[in-house]
Every structure is written in structure tokens, then in C-alpha cells.
Amino acid sequence: MASLSTPQQQAGVLSFYDAPEKGPMLNAKIFLIAVSVFAVIIIMLDHFISAA
């Protein structure tokens, strides 16, 4: 019996998630905190530069 394939499998989307991991693992919490801190710094710099 042939297996059914979905459009995602045909496009290679699922193979992306099955790819072997090469490189450092990054915790999602650390990433979200870093992005949030970076956004706050950018907003503060924009506020201080536009106020001058």
C-alpha cells in the first residue's frame, strides 16, 4: 500500500524539521529575553535621539 503524501512533504517543509541539528542549541526563553532587551534598548535609543 502506497503512503499518502501531503503538499508539505512534497515541498520539503517537513524535511527541514527532520534535518540533523548542526550548531549550538538556543533555549527559547533566552532568545525571547534577548530579543525583548534588544527591542527595549532600540526604543530607548530612538526616544533619546529624537528628544535631542
What is the pLDDT at residue 16?
Answer: 55
* Residues spanned by the domain of 37: 22-52
Classify residue 11: in a domain, yes or no. Answer: no
Q: Quick: pLDDT tens for 9-40.
A: 555 555 555 556 677 778 889 999 999 999 99
The three-state secondary structure class of 36 is: helix
Classify residue 17: in a domain, yes or no. Answer: no
| CA angle 41–42–46, rounded 5-degree value | 115
Classify residue 42: in a domain, yes or no. Answer: yes
How many structural domains comprise the chain?
Answer: 1
Q: Quick: pLDDT tens for 32-44.
A: 999 999 999 999 9
Classify residue 16: in a domain, yes or no. Answer: no
pTM of structure: 0.52
Higher pLDDT, 42 or 50: 42
